[in-house]
Amino acid sequence: MPSISLLLVMQLLAGCESLRQAGTPSPVAEPSPQPAETPLDPAQCPPVETVVCAEPEVKVVERVIERNFEKVVEVPVAKDKLVLGSEEFFTVEPGDLRLRALVDTGAATSSLSVLELTPFERDGSDWIRFKLSDGSDAEPKKIELPIKRHVRVARPGFDRQRRPIVDMSLTVGGVTHMVEVNLVERGEFEFPLLVGRNFLKDAAVVDVSRKQVQGKPKLPSFSK
């Protein structure tokens, strides 16, 4: 009995010790302090490298501009032929009028703009009466000429015209020719006279880049 009692006392004391250790909180480990941050030393930073970009390739294109200046070159022509510009002054006979003329190599015959075109008969022949003005304030000249024949002229945008043809004397520079001229009745016109190939043939060459080459025409020798 005493042995059993001693054994019970020892077990009781061991249980109390276990309870005492379980009720006692175990100490909490405090976190270790972090070392304080030290400021950076500029000497410890890596050196800054300068980056140089390559320059783009530039292509230089050289442009050469040639300027052409108009130059009048005198070209030798056939003997006894004169040079005419695209515009000239002609003297017309009968009438003794100095008219501004357009030199037209595309026209077969010469043409004259007149006023009050009136056909009539004289001695059984057909004649034509008209007035011719040089564009000034002077009174138009009255002219009567026999009709050689008639021609039909077609112009773009206009009806075909039946025009009388007469012989007239045209003078430019020192050259005079008697040629056929068709008459057209027009009131307002820029060029009262159009000189065609029937005057230019075997008499003149035309330089279309020039104007009024021959200047004031001389009067024909038979003029009063």
End-to-end CA distance of the chain: 193
User: Consecutive 10-residue runs of the chain (224 residues): their mean pLDDT?
Assistant: 60 57 52 56 61 58 49 52 89 92 92 94 95 89 95 74 93 89 82 92 85 74 48
The confidence score (pLDDT) of residue 45 equals 62
pTM: 0.60
CB 97 within 8 A of CB 141: yes
* Euclidean distance between CA atoms 193 and 100, whole angstroms: 7
The confidence score (pLDDT) of residue 65 equals 47
* CA-based torsion, 6, 10, 16, 20: positive or negative: positive
The confidence score (pLDDT) of residue 161 equals 82
* Euclidean distance between CA atoms 151 and 107, whole angstroms: 13
The confidence score (pLDDT) of residue 33 equals 56
The class (CATH top level) of 82-207 is mainly beta
* Euclidean distance between CA atoms 105 and 198, whole angstroms: 9
Lookup: tokens for 173: 């520079």
Closest CA to 101 of 139, 110, 109: 110
